[in-house]
Structure 1
Amino acid sequence: MPTITDLTTPHEGTCHDFDPLFGHWRVHHRRLRDRLAGCTEWELFEGVSHMQPLMGGQGNVDHNVLDLPSGRYRASTIRCWDPQNQQWSIWWLDARMPGQIDVPMVGKFEGGDGVFYADDTFRGQPIKVRFLWLRTRTETPRWEQAFSQDGGKTWETNWEMDFERIG
């Protein structure tokens, strides 16, 4: 488990970018009820997450339990560092759709924040997806997801997760 010193040591642009997030977390979720529909109503729910290294530290995985208002489900994120291109790829696996893995989000950390993008579809329409990892070297990291229907000119943030370390 990282120490406070580890959290402030710069590891930017290496396979150690996510190291401060290793361990157990309580996660406070805030998600738009309807995405890309002009909705401003948010649903709040809780969850837990555990992140650990893979492949000798070149990747990592987190195991998640999400307590949505409609019911609990489990999911995992797999991340892999590409040293040649100096970037991360991130894949989401959702237990509600066991035969599907999302398109990879690709990006890197700069200035302490991680920014990742993918081209995807939502309700049959092409969109861009953006993940932000913010405050990762603090005791209160945040993750945000946003969608864009106009090629990245404007973004709708539709999911926010605030992390609180457990134990």
Structure 2
Amino acid sequence: MTPQSQPAVQDTATQGTSSEHDFDFLIGSWKVQHRKLVHRLANDDTWQVFSGTCVMQPLLSGHANVDENVMDVPGAPYKAVALRAFDPKKKTWSIWWLDGRHPGHLDVPVVGSFKNGVGTFFANDTFEGRPIVIRFRWFDISEDSAKWQQAFSEDSGETWETNWFMEFHRAQQ
């Protein structure tokens, strides 16, 4: 089954409640604390903790933005880019991830919106050859901090394994 043929996960996030200002909180420079599962979808609870940075800037008069991320993974640091674009007709955001370790591959975009201060985004994809659904969530957002998490589901969203947490703290100017 390809990502395109998987059943789509429906959630209030896909109903279009966003505006082009949803990610304005992220503009600027951030220090990021990461906690990431070492082995995903393997019934393993071994976490890797590392630091990083994120610098975000708006594009297209606020209808898009990009951030460059530095991941200080012990022994294997890398950079990555998140590109987000707002669809004003659907009132949803699409988010793509470009990993510096694999610069020829742009991940499938997660699509969704914000509701009551929480951004929820989904995509059908594959992981190690298996069909999965990916979920991103942005939450606990303030002027100086925010949280993000990623989860995978192998059963079309019935159950989720959260495999990556990021805590953002505004970098001092």
Give the structure, 1 or 2, with the largest relative contact order (CA under 8 Å, sep 6 or more).
2
* 3-state secondary structure, aligned to 1:68: coil
5+ residue gaps, structure 1, are 1-11
Which of the numbers 56, 72, 76 marks the counterpart of 2:61?
56
Cα offset, 1:135, TM superposition:
1.6
Cα offset, 1:138, TM superposition:
4.4
Which of the numbers 36, 46, 49 marks the counterpart of 2:51?
46
CA RMSD of aligned residues (A): 0.9
- The two structures have a TM-score, normalised by structure 1, of 0.91
Instruction: Provide Cα deviations, 1:72-108, integer angstroms capped at 9, x if missing partner.
Output: 1011000000000010000001111111100010000
Counterpart mapping for 1:78-97 below 5 A:
78-97=83-102
Identity %: 51
Q: Work out whether residues 21 and 136 of structure 1, in 8 Å CA contact, stay in contact via their aligned partners in 2.
A: no
Q: How many residues are aligned here?
A: 156
Counterpart mapping for 1:112-127 below 5 A:
112-127=117-132
Which of the numbers 15, 38, 44 marks the counterpart of 1:33?
38
Counterpart mapping for 1:8-27 below 5 A:
13-27=18-32
Q: Which residue number in structure 1 is paired with residue 171 of structure 2?
A: 166
Q: Distance in 2 between the 1:64 and 1:121 partners?
A: 23
5+ residue gaps, structure 2, are 1-16
- The two structures have a TM-score, normalised by structure 2, of 0.88
